[in-house]
Structure 1
Amino acid sequence: MLKLSNLFGDHAVLQRNRTIVVWGWCDPFAMVKGQLGAVSAASRAGGDGRFTLRFPALPAGGPHKLVVEVKETGETVVSSDLLIGEVWVASGQSNMEFCAGGLTSRIESIRKECSPSIPLRMFTVERNAQIAPPLDAGGAWQVHLPEEVDSWSAVGLFFGRKLHRELNVPVGVVVSSWGGTIAEAWTSREMLMENPDFAADVARYELEVGRPDFWERLSPEELAIPFRENLSINHRLEPLLPPLSERGVQEGWFAPDFDDSDWEVVQLPRSWQEIGIRFNGIIWFRREVEIPPDWAGRDLCLSIGAVDKHDVTWFDGVEAGRTGEGLETVHWNQPRNYRIPGERVHAGRCVIAVRNYSFLYDGGLIGPAEQMHLAPADGTGSALSLSGAWRYAVESNIGCMCDRISIMGTGNPNSYGMLFDNMIRPLIPMAMRGVIWYQGESNQQAPQRYRRLMEDLIADWRFRWGQGRFPFLQVILAGFRTPGSYQQEAEWPRIREAQALAAVSSGNLTASAIDLGDATDIHPHRKQEVGERLALAALEQAYSRPVVGSGPVFREMAIEGSAIRLYFDHCGAGLTAHGRELAGFYIADRFRKFHPASAVICENTVLVSSPEVPLPVAVRYAWADNPEEANLYNSAGLPASSFRTDVWEV
């Protein structure tokens, strides 16, 4: 009957210099005694059988043995090879979850550096998404061995290695992460109810998952394997989907001579949600282009950017290509590139039509704008941009499928508070030093909410752990998608801005990965730099080491005639331009139009100006999903992230 939490099993790392809290379960009201190295503790279990032992703080060292005994029965459990050192929680979505084994070009060298003599250990919390959450965190501690490290979080591994090198004490990393998850899932229900952006939705969700028919329509397979999100979604969704409409095809909405003059006009790229569409179904988009005479008879590449869910695309009345079928969701952020044979290409007016089907969540032609173009397939000549004005019409409105299938609930990690209850609450009140966090990609469609959400999440975890204002170190999102200069409506710079502002307001440092991205892979492989930058932030914030732990952070601006001077914190010994002249800055006139700007470093400030803007009012930097020009760093070689001096809507 006696059982310790898995967090205190063999090879565990326990936090030094803090009261060590150990818990487990036994018979109700039994007397429990514990011995950890040279210190002891005692407690009595509650009516539910849970007991908590609080051992006095210990210095770094070990190995120790933990012995826990029930006085009345003599039942004993023993955990061996425990170390006392530094413990960090690593959480977030897929870039935190990304395993070292996925770094295929480096895995052999990573394994060669593994040794049990390096006191680095990792506990990976098993995935769980149940309405009735577990009492204990699933998982076990692993030792720093070549045969173990492939499954470790790569960021957590490199973070732990650098901390151990710098501190020369054992390091334990508790990884609790899940790919594709939103911050709302990692925030407690109680905190979400304090946030006006989410309170009403949380209340509706709780009523829905309490309905008998919610549980009756779940298959036994879903209930037995609660963490398989796609299985859960498909089982609930498939019976509710109506037959697909074919009206648009039957009426020739793809034909060049079809009259679309009564269709609405929309600026693309844009999601359905941004247009104001709150349902799922089928929407058509059409756009006319003028084919240059010298393109006639040449193969073309038709690129419409990423499409949320499925598409069928026509070029001048003939199908050019299609992507997605059934209930696939894997294509939602993949660019569409279709080859048009030369025999179908003629000079003059041409119509491009896209039939966009979304059966869940959002939909739309989501770009980015730089990936929306028509150009000769051989790469010669300039491209015709396809971003901008398109006409659209609704072929089929099947309602909001998220509401109809109660997408949230058992089996879906993106339910409100689900991962806090299942994968964070079981860790509390484990003694630890702080949190490293890599998440944000899944909240990109509502960046305006993200700052408050992260401020709430940080405050929530700090309150519940009861260990004061511990460090909560975020990774500022890496560059992704086609490199570009300035993107007015880009989402990722707004997420980066929200991350940075939440860090400042909560008294935390960040680790910017803006220069470590991959245009074609949302999971860039430069995880060592990410982990080591997080370690630098930890060394400064948590351990007061004389290091520069953050890239430059914008503080304030001052207008000086026809220029704007920007002031920064975390400059180290000074600001630098990495590799070339300082770039990536844009300056706005009084009409809020941004122009490319020149920028000059003056000690720890940057002076920004443009001859086109005699009366400047604002500056933006690295304002793109994957900014190709941004090169502002500090003396420690750490980059500045996206920021702006204005607070305008876009």
Structure 2
Amino acid sequence: MKLKLILFLSLCSSIAFATVKPASIFTDHMVLQQQSNVAIWGWAKPASKVKIVTSWNKSSYTVSSDQAGKWKVKVATPLAGGPYEIELNDGEKLVLKDILIGEVWFCGGQSNMEMPMKGFKSQPIIGSNEVILKSSNPNIRLYTVPRSSITERQDNSKPSQWKLSEPEAVSNFSATAYYFGSLLSEMLHVPIGLINDSYGGSTIEAWMSPDDLKPFTEVKIPAKGDSIKEVSRTPTTLYNGMLYPVIGYGIKGAIWYQGESNYERPQRYEDLFQAMVSSWRQHWDNGEFPFYYAQIAPYNYPLIAKPGTNYNSAYLRDAQRKSLSKIPHSGMAVLMDIGEEKSIHPANKKQGGERLAYLALAQTYGIKGFGAFSPTYESVSIEKNTATIKFQNVPNGLTSFGKTLSLFEIAGADQKFYPAKAAIKGSSVIVSAEEVKIPVAVRYAFKDFVNGDLFGNDGLPVSSFRTDNWEQ
């Protein structure tokens, strides 16, 4: 009897090993990017042939696994539609079912991307309960990459499942990503796939590879055997455990909401951000895919700052603002009007998610006739005691919605800023202060916490900005 049990367990083990196994991100209910050559990969018996058959066109692909059993193949996808199936066979057959073809977006960042629709404990999301209740939509599919912080690069992520949009799944899914995808679904009328790959409290360095970080000599890259003292802030560890395993999955583009954990080091963020996006695009093998990001919202950062320090997160927002000109095919959703003084997690996630969707709908999908881009600072000119600020992306002018502009400051050569009088003139703002006879620099909303009061006529807020490059 004992021998029979051993033989039975051995047979079960060999069958499990023989069955072809796709990477964790390839499951029933997934969405594949339409009209593309999308990669599918996984493991099988070492040095074996794996046959892949796609039901939408009955095409057959054959690929050989390497000595470790790993294989990878690209398959052609049609126009949006479904459901379809993919059959994988290396002698044992596995069928992935209920696959849709549509638009797939990668959604990354830290806690403001990770924050689920139901909110964090005692940190609600405005209006989410009704949205969750009405969220059933089989054409929206959700995938969350499980948390993993590790010093070694992983070939596969921890197991997870693609889920259909319905109340229980949506309540636990990224609110920012859901609002983004929901608006895309409404406007594009195609299946939408959302991949949430985020970790609360994470620094940008954690999402970058060792090669990405080599030029940044101040960053300590952990070795294989090092302990991870801060799971979301140790360089490379989230890249290793959560990003590298899914890089290459066919996507249309990416949205990103991160920066709060880098507020103490704004002087390097601009370069780190550019390097990260460039590296992702290179290794994704998907061209310069669109990359849209949320600027961090105003918040009273001294509440979490180390004792004796005095940081102003407006410098980090400014680094994000300036990144627009350095990262091709990018866009920034400005959140100057929804920040909260005592919460780093704004409750109004709908604005952030939908503003990211505006960028995609306008710039990626070519929809015209609506406001998608916040006005951005272009230039300053000085005449006598007055500074004139010009803006881009103001086709229909600027507005304060009837309120007095109160967030402009102006300084002379002494670098001392004074509250300024500011008035809108079409697509420009005229700024002056009695204390400054010869203006040199202007700043707008350049504080940790403010409620922005300058908007485009479409209601999209202007980012905080400065015309100087002074250290303080």
Could you tell me the TM-score, scaled by structure 2's length? 0.89
* Counterpart for residue 120 of structure 1: 140
1:528 and 2:350 correspond: yes
> 2:28 and 2:133 mapped to 1: Cα distance?
24
State the Cα distance separating 1:482 from its structure 2 match: 8.9
1:517 and 2:339 correspond: yes
* Counterpart for residue 438 of structure 1: 257
Are residues 105 and 573 of structure 1, via their aligned partners in 2, closer, same or farther at CA, if it must alter by over 3 Å?
closer
> 1:599 and 1:566 mapped to 2: Cα distance?
10
* Counterpart for residue 586 of structure 1: 409
Q: Secondary structure at the match of 2:87?
A: strand
* Counterpart for residue 460 of structure 2: 638
Structure 1, unmatched stretches of 5+, are: 215-405, 484-488
1:19 and 2:40 correspond: no
Aligned runs of 1:440-589 on 2, under 5 Å?
440-481=259-300, 490-507=311-328, 508-546=330-368, 547-589=370-412
Cα distance per residue 1:514-545 (max 9 Å; x no partner): 21111111111100111000100111222222
Cα distance per residue 1:219-257 (max 9 Å; x no partner): xxxxxxxxxxxxxxxxxxxxxxxxxxxxxxxxxxxxxxx
**Structure 1 counterpart of 2:433, which letter?**
S
**Structure 2 counterpart of 1:94, which letter?**
S
State the Cα distance separating 1:105 from its structure 2 match: 6.0
State the Cα distance separating 1:641 from its structure 2 match: 1.3
> 1:104 and 1:619 mapped to 2: Cα distance?
35
| Between structures 1 and 2, the one with greater strand share | 1
> 1:514 and 1:40 mapped to 2: Cα distance?
51
| 1:474–1:503 Cα contact (<8 Å) kept | no
> 2:69 and 2:301 mapped to 1: Cα distance?
56
Structure 1 stretch 640-649 or stretch 565-574: which is displaced more?
565-574
* Counterpart for residue 431 of structure 2: 608
| 1:32–1:42 Cα contact (<8 Å) kept | yes
* Counterpart for residue 422 of structure 2: 599
**Structure 1 counterpart of 2:313, which letter?**
W
> 1:57 and 1:525 mapped to 2: Cα distance?
38
> 1:593 and 1:578 mapped to 2: Cα distance?
29
Of 27, 30, 35, 2:53 maps to: 35
> 1:496 and 1:578 mapped to 2: Cα distance?
24
**Structure 1 counterpart of 2:350, which letter?**
Q
> 1:644 and 1:635 mapped to 2: Cα distance?
22
| 1:450–1:495 Cα contact (<8 Å) kept | yes
> 2:199 and 2:62 mapped to 1: Cα distance?
36
* Counterpart for residue 287 of structure 1: none
> 1:131 and 1:594 mapped to 2: Cα distance?
46
* Counterpart for residue 94 of structure 2: 77
State the Cα distance separating 1:186 from its structure 2 match: 0.5
Aligned residues: 438
Could you tell me the TM-score, scaled by structure 1's length? 0.65
Are residues 561 and 57 of structure 1, via their aligned partners in 2, closer, same or farther at CA, if it must alter by over 3 Å?
farther
Q: Secondary structure at the match of 1:451?
A: helix
> 2:26 and 2:286 mapped to 1: Cα distance?
19
Q: Secondary structure at the match of 2:168?
A: coil
Q: Secondary structure at the match of 1:559?
A: strand
**Structure 2 counterpart of 1:525, which letter?**
A
* Counterpart for residue 146 of structure 1: 167
Are residues 104 and 620 of structure 1, via their aligned partners in 2, closer, same or farther at CA, if it must alter by over 3 Å?
closer
State the Cα distance separating 1:565 from its structure 2 match: 1.6
Are residues 105 and 527 of structure 1, via their aligned partners in 2, closer, same or farther at CA, if it must alter by over 3 Å?
closer
| 2:125–2:347 Cα contact (<8 Å) kept | no
State the Cα distance separating 1:635 from its structure 2 match: 2.0
1:86 and 2:103 correspond: yes
| 1:197–1:449 Cα contact (<8 Å) kept | no
* Counterpart for residue 626 of structure 1: 449
| 2:126–2:347 Cα contact (<8 Å) kept | no
* Counterpart for residue 157 of structure 2: 137
> 1:193 and 1:14 mapped to 2: Cα distance?
34
| 2:126–2:348 Cα contact (<8 Å) kept | no
Q: Secondary structure at the match of 2:25?
A: helix
| 1:490–1:624 Cα contact (<8 Å) kept | no
C-alpha root-mean-square deviation of aligned residues, in Å? 1.8
**Structure 1 counterpart of 2:87, which letter?**
V
Structure 2, unmatched stretches of 5+, are: 1-16, 303-309
State the Cα distance separating 1:190 from its structure 2 match: 0.4
